[in-house]
Amino acid sequence: MDAGGDDRAGPRVPTSFREAIAVERTLCADLAATLPPPPAAPPRLLVAGWVAHIRRLGGLAFLLLRDRTGTLQAVWEGAAGHLPAREAFVEVRGVPRAEARAPGGVELVAEQIEVLAVPSCPPPFPLHRADLPVALETLLEHRAAALRHPRERAVFAVQAALTRGFRTHLDRLGYSETHTPKIVGTATEGGADVFAVDWFGRRVHLAQSPQLYKQMLVLAGFEQVYEVAAVYRAEPHDTARHLNEYVSMDVETVLLAGGTEEALIALERELLGAMFGQVESDAAPALDLLGVRALPDPARAQVLPLQEALRVVGRPDLDPEGERRLAERVGDMVFVNEWPAAARPFYAMPDPRRPGSTRSFDLILRGLEVTTGGQREHRPAMLRRALAARGMDPGPFGAYLAAFELGAPPHGGFAIGLERLTARIAGLDNVRRASLFPRDRTRVTP
């Protein structure tokens, strides 16, 4: 054998995605930055995306091209009779030049257009317009088409930034990201609003939340954990604020130095501040598309006991109308604490200063509850007593209760509904618009 190696070796395997596709693509949002100052010659570029709109003018054709970052204008000279269809996916090679009337003040002078995908039918609604003036049900029925529209997709740029800010801030604080089961044998809240699943002939449930597991992980020595995952509620609602599958952003932490729900409220203020800052940093173009001028300031959020909040809104309970009035009369962000034990799960910590009350809270953001949280009961005897008081069998909670028997420090946490938070930030009137493929009482497709 030749000492130089085996000549029969196969072709070299690319070491990166960019090398594998052998192309340097310019995104629509970056086109303006490619135009060099004169007298330097402009570079030859490759752009790719969907043909959003075509306009003919004499011997010229102007193509509005759309990719994941935005739009650009390509001008095609002398070939107006050989143009791709709207919503075709194309590659365009050409050079940039200044044009004040084009998006970003720069257009691409096309030299070559290659069609990679041809639509077999037109889109169900006009995607080239600034808005989509169609009913919500139509948007949801044709979700993949609707998500091609920049305004629809901007919602999820905001949502992605919120999620990124959530993870980044908690990672910096030393929290551990966790992934708990979504198939459970026991309803977390002890209620009936659970989806039953056949598990090899055994009746189990889709998880209402990771609550019991995240507490067990805190007690297992993780001390502070978070999770971003889908949860399921079999609530028979059909409103603009409810989903039966949604993404819950959960936090749980040991509480030291006598910390109560007030410490958790402080943690959430800081966390939301970081999340909103991430949105302003990463999704400013999306905010502009959505017409969002300013985000709430968590540092200015009010904290009101429930009874005080009820007095302010003039209602017997904090129902949706009460939440709306609270935003009008108090402010964009209101933490409501001191909830009665009857309105909280069995694991809510009783408030020794106020019999019948708990150390728990909700966050009302622009008239909609987006967070529920509080300090948890960490004494196993009290947990058993709380289960008994609600007529709940402690048997199914055996593994959960056993974790507390090993010695449980004070702890607490909260959960943020991602779709509700996104909807409030993006100014949406229905939480379904903040879900890529929403699941509710009637919709399980697409």
Q: What is the pLDDT of residues 94-109, one digit of tens each?
A: 999 999 999 999 999 9
Q: How large is the average pLDDT for residues 12-16?
A: 73
Please give the distance of CA 196 from its chain centroid, rounded to a whole number: 26
pTM for this model (two decimals): 0.93
Q: What is the CA radius of gyration of the chain?
A: 27
What pLDDT is recorded for position 59? 84
SS3 25: strand
Q: Are 71 and 106 in contact (CB under 8 A)?
A: no
Q: Which two tokens stand for residue 387?
A: 């289960």
Would the pLDDT of 4 be above 90? no
pLDDT above 90 for 83:
no
- In this prediction, residue 1 has a pLDDT band, given cuts at 50, 70 and 90, of very low
CA 385 to the chain's CA centroid: 37
Instruction: Give yes or no for residue 427 having a pLDDT over 50.
Output: yes
Helix (H) or strand (E) holding 413: strand 411-417
* % of the chain with per-residue pLDDT over 70: 94
pLDDT of residue 193: 86
The 10s digit of each residue's pLDDT in 59-68 is 899 999 999 9
CA angle 337, 342, 344 (to 5 degrees): 55
> Mean pLDDT of all residues in the chain?
93
Q: Which domains does the chain have, with CATH numbers?
A: 17-117 (2.40.50.140), 143-434 (3.30.930.10)
Q: How many CA atoms lie within 13 A of 407 on its CB side?
A: 1
Q: At what angle do helices 150-172 and 418-426 cross, to 10 degrees?
A: 120
**pLDDT tens per residue across span 110-163:** 999 999 999 999 999 999 999 998 999 999 999 999 999 999 999 999 999 999
Higher model confidence: residue 186 or residue 346? 346
From the CB of residue 121, how many other CB atoms can be counted at a distance below 10 Å?
A: 6
> Is the confidence at residue 189, as pLDDT, over 80?
no
| pLDDT given at position 77 | 87
Q: Is 151 exposed, middle or buried (0-12, 13-18, 19+ CB in 10 A)?
A: middle
Q: Is the pLDDT of residue 12 over 90?
A: no
* C-alpha 279 chain-centroid distance: 11
Q: What is the pLDDT of residue 206?
A: 96
For residue 214, what pLDDT is reported?
Answer: 97
- The Cα–Cα gap between 206 and 198 comes to 10
Instruction: Please give the sequence-ordered ranges of beta strands (E in DSSP) within 200-318, or none if there are none.
Output: 202-206, 224-232, 245-254, 302-305
Q: What is the pLDDT of residues 299-341, one digit of tens each?
A: 999 999 999 999 999 999 999 999 999 999 999 999 999 999 9
Q: What is the pLDDT of residues 119-134, one digit of tens each?
A: 999 999 999 999 998 9
Query: Quick check: 6 pLDDT over 60?
Result: no
Average pLDDT over residues 81-105: 93
